[in-house]
Chains A and B, each alone.
Chain A
Amino acid sequence: MTSETIISIENVFKRYPVGDGEFTALKDINLQFKRSEFAGLVGPSGSGKTTLLNIIGSLDSPTEGRAMVLGKNISELSHRESAWLRNKHIGFIFQVYNLLPVYTVFENVEFALLLQNIPADERKKAVMKALEWVGLADMAGKKPDKLSGGEGQRVAIARAMVKKPEIVIADEPSANLDAANTHAILKTMKKLNEELGTTFLFSTHDEKVMGYLERIVHLRDGYVEQDEIISPKSMTT
């Protein structure tokens, strides 16, 4: 594993206007994440987990401070550049899967590759491989409404992983899953993390998820309360 820092959060503040005043969601956050980390942001609702993940995923930008992702300053990216960053390098897994309802499982997973103009035969191979990773190769032709919660989230993982991104951001991926499915998807993600070297960043307050994390960053009221290294991989330098 390499020790390369691929995410660097420096003195980041995020403020939102609320009525006549403002709400500070992130307060002076300083964090670094290295390649192939399996880390999580943990904290109660409103602690700033999702806000921080959105900034790392270039869906949002800091009000103050600097967020560097894969050498790019998120605040300085144009819409096109941030779209390119997400398309090529970042995969997202959402709490409610966010699968596109009119597309089949195959088409949902294929979507990111379509945006990259990858030829059809290569796309097909990549999609089927991604579906094999998550054990859903036989469900390629099904529509999302025919899938169980666990299957839906596995499709979301396949969709995030098919383009082999450097970073996968998973926002409360287990919130709608039972224990068995939570363990199943976490095992899948862990396996992909180990095999492909993808950096996984979670936001969660699910203890089952925490059990798999190698590093846990505790957030409270927008502050980093504790940055806890659980397993030695994250310590690799």
Chain B
Amino acid sequence: MKLAFQLAYKNLVGAGLRTWLNVGVLSFSFIVIIFYNGLIDGWNEQAKRDSIAWEFGHGQLRNAGYDPFDPFTILDGHGVLEQKQAENLTPILIRQASIYPQGRMFSVALKGIDANQTTLEIPTQALRESTAAMPVIIGKNMADAAKLETGDEVLLRWRDKDGTFDASSATIVQVFETNVPTVDNGQLWISIEKLWEMTGLQGHATLFVANEKYQPEQIPGWKYESQTELLSDITDIIATKKVSGSIMYLLLLAIALLAIFDTQVLSVFRRQKEIGTYISLGMTRAQVVGLFTVEGSMYSIFAMTVGSIIGIPLFTYLATKGIAFPTASASRDMGVAMAERIFPVFGIQLILGTILLVVIAATIVSFLPARKISKMDPVQALKGKLQ
């Protein structure tokens, strides 16, 4: 085997441009595969991290009547927990409401949250510290959509517990920036105590966000969803993105492998005299098949080396500096938290996995044409006759 590697190395280096063209295409595939997967992994990590920090906490205890995907459940999907049961939980009460920025009606989810909470990164201290009669905070996407700024007043209309409409002027006390669209788009955050007062739903919450000390327990009328369960949607979306993206890099890899396959097929035909010479010098056919196969797989090793020379500084730079993304529209379009800059994660598993994939694939496509050698008549091969 060592001999096959020595000979394959010499043959490939000796083949010059043909080798380096194949290596160039293959190393480009290496870089694209690792980059794309690193980017997706980085996005995945960031989306999970931000979703935990801004929305999911360490889990959520939801009222059994509330379904986050069904807005009709908001009206009745709330309830009260005993004080002991509510320990280490941040209550959130969701009500439907409308605002009228510049006279336009804008439907919103009015979310009451404990202004003293520290579980989520939503800057609720602004609600606590404000002296406005009805302070609210909104996300940047919401502010852009409704054309609202900090300090603006906007007419807010809501229903109380009996379904009676009420309205008042709310003051935007802070516009916060977040990568998590589900705490931003179409949402108005208000102190839960204020919301209780406005709706008459004293002590009620639609859901509770758990902190790290919370120990889940069975509570009738409530359903606990762990952090993992809450993150599963993100994981699924990212996995789907990964699959769709992989089509692109598999195509690229297929082109690179096709180039190797073509080179190998051509080699087996063009180098028949050489094959005959190897056999006449005492190599077995299996050794010659092995040599040609190793030559093919060595393209991937060369490509790995070239890819490392280009990829290591490039990936280090990207992992450190991140990649800028147009977040506002991207977050809305993707439905997943997306930061302004995504920091790709190039894990050892990704790199080793890619290397293994490319080396195995290159070996297989090299072996297929090389198998022909095992059926070759060495006498005809020495004459250079096509077989």
Chain A residues in the interface with B (C-beta under 8 A): 54, 57, 59-60, 79-80, 83-84, 86-88, 92, 94, 96, 98, 100-103, 107, 111-112, 114-116, 159
Contacts and interface: CB of A to CB of B under 8 A. Distances in A.
B133 interface: no
B379 A60 contact: yes
B279 A114 contact: no
Nearest to B3: A114
Interface string B273-286: 11011011111111
Contact of A102 (B11, B286, B378): B11
B282 A100 contact: no
Given A115-B3, A115-B283, A59 B382 contact: yes
Contacts of B3: 114-115
B378 A100 contact: no
A86 B3 CA distance: 18
Contact of B379 (A59, A80, A86, A102): A59
Given A98-B273, A102-B13, A107-B10, A59 B282 contact: no
Nearest to A86: B282
A103 B284 contact: no
A96 B15 CA distance: 21
Contacts of A111: 281
10 contacts: A59-B379, A60-B377, A60-B378, A83-B285, A84-B282, A87-B283, A98-B273, A102-B15, A111-B281, A112-B281
Contacts of A86: 279-282
B120 to A, nearest CB: 65
Give the 3 A-B residue pairs with the shortest CB-CB distance, closest first.
A87-B282, A102-B14, A83-B284
Contact of A98 (B15, B276, B285, B377): B276
B6 interface: yes
B280 A92 contact: yes
Nearest to B16: A102
Contacts of A92: 280-281
A54 B282 contact: no
Contacts of B11: 102
B10 A83 contact: no
Interface string B322-357: 000000000000000000000000000000000000
